Amino acid sequence: MSRVYNFSAGPSCLPEEVLNECAAEMLDYKGTGQSVMEMSHRSKAYEPIIQDAEAMVRKLMNVPENYKVLFLQGGGSTQFAMVAQNLGIRSGKAAYIETGVWAKKAAAEAKKLGVDVDVIASSKDKGYSYIPRVEKVEGDYDYVYICLNNTIMGTHYEYLPETGDIPLVADISSCVLSEPLDVSRFGMVFAGAQKNLAPAGVTLVVIREDLITDSPRAGTPTMLCYKTHADADSMYNTPPCYTIYVLGKVLHWIEKNGGAEGMLKRNREKADYLYNFLDSSDFYHATAEKGSRSLMNVPFLTKYSTGATDEASLAKEKEINDKFVKEAAAAGLVNLKGHRLVGGMRASIYNAMSLDGVKALVEFMKKFEAENK
């Protein structure tokens, strides 16, 4: 069976080289006679695996010494609560820049937990199709929160707001290690691993040590305290052992392919190829505004997505979108259905997606256009 090109927004495609390594070691990891899936997280065999994963995160992301690297569970969504409970403790106020679903959900969760949330900017006015410009943030805030790359809307920050002494917190789930990032500009970053780093199951947190408090907001469960996990080196409870093992292999693959700089070059080439085609087409168009476009997630519509709400127009739009997704899948291009909030299609072209995959998509799009004008 030949492998397909998987454009899923997450869980997403992994490097084939990594998958082959995992397959080769599935029944017998380095002569232990067991799979990593079966291994005790406190065994001498597993200890080097999680230590290597942390070392590679530090190396590839240039993590400063005064930051902790944590491997947690619960996905990025659990971080919405953990950020508020652990950082929103001085003034009890936080600033959020709302650029889509995930930033909006994070703000709502913080508000639910009693944090005084100030949405200081939003791109809701244009359906979150752009990143609002916030040059500087001042005020009595415990932290400033952004979502660096928006998986659903296909937008990405081309700048970072200046926050002075206020810690900047970023959800980098869908762009982690897709480009260089100056971690020292942030108080904390976090990423669900299932887009660029590993299968679903582990959440990477990189947090400055002075933000790890032993006095979170009242009622915070033990498992939702960063200090719990920092003190235990991510071993307070059983971590997602196999996912961390795969993550380590992906990190070595990234290093072999030029590190974060190499990923940026690779990803820019892929994204430029796809956006250039979309911008030159009379049949398709990208939904994100130029200057805010993601290198990772590219939502696009056809000419039949006109915004009309009459029954006939909506039926035609659905017919074309469904036909595109079905025929693309038959051609070996899968998981291209767009998110319901945007519609149309979405190509997620994370690190492991090859330029050949993007070229195959564009060739299919040309064929589909010719047959459905």
The whole-angstrom separation of Cα 8 and Cα 347 is: 7
Question: Are residue 245 and residue 263 in the same domain, yes or no?
Answer: no
In a domain, 189, yes or no: yes
* 165, 268: one domain: no
DSSP element (H, E) containing 347: strand 345-348
Distance CA 115, CA 230 (A): 24
DSSP 147: E
Q: Residue 292 above 70 pLDDT? A: yes
- What is the pLDDT confidence band of residue 307, given thresholds at 50, 70 and 90? confident
**What confidence tier does 1 reach under pLDDT thresholds 50, 70, 90?**
low
Q: Are residues 235 and 271 in the same domain?
A: no
Domain check: are 325 and 234 in the same one?
A: no
Domain boundary among 256, 288, 312: 256
Residues 83 and 190 in one domain: yes
Is residue 316 a contact partner of residue 308, using CB atoms and an 8 Å limit? no
Instruction: Note whether residue 110 is domain-resident.
Output: yes
Q: Is 196 within the bounds of a domain?
A: yes
Give the 3-state secondary structure of residue 26.
Answer: coil
Identify the CATH number of the domain in which residue 297 sits.
3.90.1150.10
Q: Same domain for 218 and 322?
A: no
Asked if 208 and 137 sit in the same domain, the reply is yes
Query: In the 8-state DSSP scheme, what is residue 77?
Result: H
Spell out a b/e string for 277-305, using b for 16 or more CB atoms within 10 Å of the CB, else e.
bbeebebbebbbeeebbbbbbbbbbbebb
**pLDDT the model gives residue 126:** 95
Average pLDDT of the residues in 246-261: 98
Compute the distance between CA of residue 337 and CA of residue 293 in angstroms, rounded to an integer: 19
Domain assignment present for residue 32? The answer is: yes
Query: In the listed set 256, 284, 307, which residue is the last one of a domain according to the structure?
Result: 256
**Whether residues 268 and 216 fall in one domain:** no
Q: pLDDT per residue over 93-123, tens digit each?
A: 999 999 999 999 999 999 999 999 999 999 9
3-state DSSP assignment of residue 241 = helix
Domain that includes residue 271, residue range? 259-372
Q: Which of 214, 239, 256 is the last residue of a domain?
A: 256
Please indicate, yes or no, if residue 1 is contained in any of the structural domains: no
235 plus 275 within the same structural domain: no
CA distance 367 to 139: 54
| Total of domains in the chain | 2
Q: Is the pLDDT of residue 297 over 80?
A: yes
Instruction: Tell me the per-residue pLDDT of 156-202, one tens digit each, with 9 for 90 and over.
Output: 999 999 999 999 999 999 999 999 999 999 999 999 999 999 999 99
Q: Which two tokens stand for residue 309?
A: 């709400």
Residue 65 lies in a domain: yes
Give the helix, strand, coil percentages of the chain, each rounded to 5.
40, 15, 45
Judgement on whether residues 229 and 272 belong to the same structural domain of the protein: no
Tell me the CATH number at 52: 3.40.640.10
The per-residue pLDDT for 281 is 97
**pTM for the whole structure:** 0.96
State the Cα–Cα distance between residues 286 and 300, nearest whole angstrom.
4
Residue 267, pLDDT score: 98
Average pLDDT for 220-233: 96
* CA distance linking residue 91 with residue 44, whole number of Å: 44
Q: Is 99 exposed, middle or buried (0-12, 13-18, 19+ CB in 10 A)?
A: buried
Domain shared by 247 and 368, yes or no: no
Catalytic residue set = 102, 171, 195
Residue 234: inside a domain, yes or no?
yes
Side-chain half-sphere exposure of 141, counting CA atoms within 13 A: 22
| 39 lies in the same domain as 134 | yes
Q: Is residue 115 part of a domain?
A: yes
Question: Which strands form 203-208's sheet, in the order they lie side by side?
Answer: 67-72, 203-208, 188-192, 168-171, 143-147, 93-98, 116-122
Structure letter (DSSP) for residue 6: E
> What φ, ψ does residue 55 adopt, rounded to 5°?
-60, -40
